Amino acid sequence: MSDKKMSSNPIIKNIYTADPAPMVYGDTLYLYTTHDEDELINDFYTMFDWRCYSTKDMVNWTDHGCIFSLDDIKWADDRAWAPQTIERNGKFYMYCPVHKKDSGMAIAVGVSDSPIGPFKDLGYPLIDEGDWNDIDPTVFIDDDGQAYLYFGNPELRYVKLNEDMISYDECVGIVKIPMTEESFAKGSHDTGTTYGEGPWFYKKNNLYYMVYASFRENQTDESLSYSTSTSPTGPWVYGGVLMTEEGGVFTNHPGIAEFKGHNYLFYHTGELPGGGLFHRSVCVAEFEYNEDGSINTIPKCDGVEEI
Ligand code: FUB
């Protein structure tokens, strides 16, 4: 038996956190999360701010507290939902879905000189189609320098970000990915496929991955699934189930990171005392890729080894 220390899930035990979004920068893994308030308003997701935590060894975590909130976004009034942060040229960009004061969801961008904020809002939405699809952004910069922002529920859409990371190529515009069974398998969400929300876009060994929260047929809770492509814009090919619904809450949300030679899937459950639908907690599991790039279903776990 290994005498290495183990972490214990959930990672954060003093507040409810959801929608984990890891970012590796230097020798540190930063974990951005949403925050489920203890007290609910109208018995629904009650979420006002985003939190950041960091680790160098996957066992010891530093709490950086609230790093961006609805108070910083004058045009938004609710729903501080699933974010993702990325670094480019020494600046940090945090993409955040929020509810606009005049209705609908949109994607805000917070900019900071530090991974732990504070983040400053652009002052206007980056993505605002005037519908409810504009949630759950995932951002990735390809080897050729082109950055992509995918997002959406129930449809997966993307924009090609400009080098400044706060605007996008208006000629290409907002592209709708064809929601086919070949790409996302037959499922029970609005498009008739398993694709639900919470996409996580990245590349490994020249293969592009789209991990997402999925609705399988005859299931009420979300699972996690993945699709792959040889191009950053598809066509996507359905890969399989990454994490089943068992033991979960209605939602789940993936975040993938490669850190110091290990591969991690971050996800959320309702397993903290008092936890459930609107009181979720972020967890992590280690996994490996098969030689052909496929990934086996990853069991929920108690924690990971110190690295
Ligand atoms: O946490 C609020 C919303 O629930 C997220 O944006 C979705 O991904 C789901 O986790």
Pocket of ligand 1 from Cβ distances under 6 Å? 18-19, 34, 45, 81-82, 97, 135-136, 197-198, 213, 251, 253
Average pLDDT, rounded, for the chain: 97
Cα of 34 vs centre of ligand 1, distance in Å, is 9
- 8 Å CB contact between 147 and 88: yes
Cα of 150 vs centre of ligand 1, distance in Å, is 15
Q: State the maximum Cα–Cα separation within the chain, in Å, rounded to a whole number.
A: 58
DSSP class of residue 133 equals -
What's the rounded mean pLDDT across residues 63-88?
98
Ligand 1 probe mutation, 34, 47, 211, 222, most atoms within 8 A of CB: 34
- Spatial CA neighbour of 287 closest among 232, 222, 211: 211
What's the rounded mean pLDDT across residues 249-261?
97
Tens digit of each residue's pLDDT (9 = 90 or more) over 101-151: 988 999 999 999 999 999 999 999 999 999 899 999 999 999 999 999 999
Ligand 1 probe mutation, 81, 134, 222, 224, most atoms within 8 A of CB: 81
Give the pLDDT score at 247: 65
111: number of Cβ within 10 Å: 16
Tens digit of each residue's pLDDT (9 = 90 or more) over 27-36: 999 999 999 9
Tokens, residue 30: 């930063």
- Spatial CA neighbour of 208 closest among 136, 158, 169, 246: 158
Q: Is the pTM of this model over 0.95?
A: yes
State the closest ligand 1 atom to the C-alpha of 18, by its place in the atom list counted from 1.
1
Tokens, residue 77: 């009034």
**Would the pLDDT of 198 be above 60?**
yes
Cα of 45 vs centre of ligand 1, distance in Å, is 9
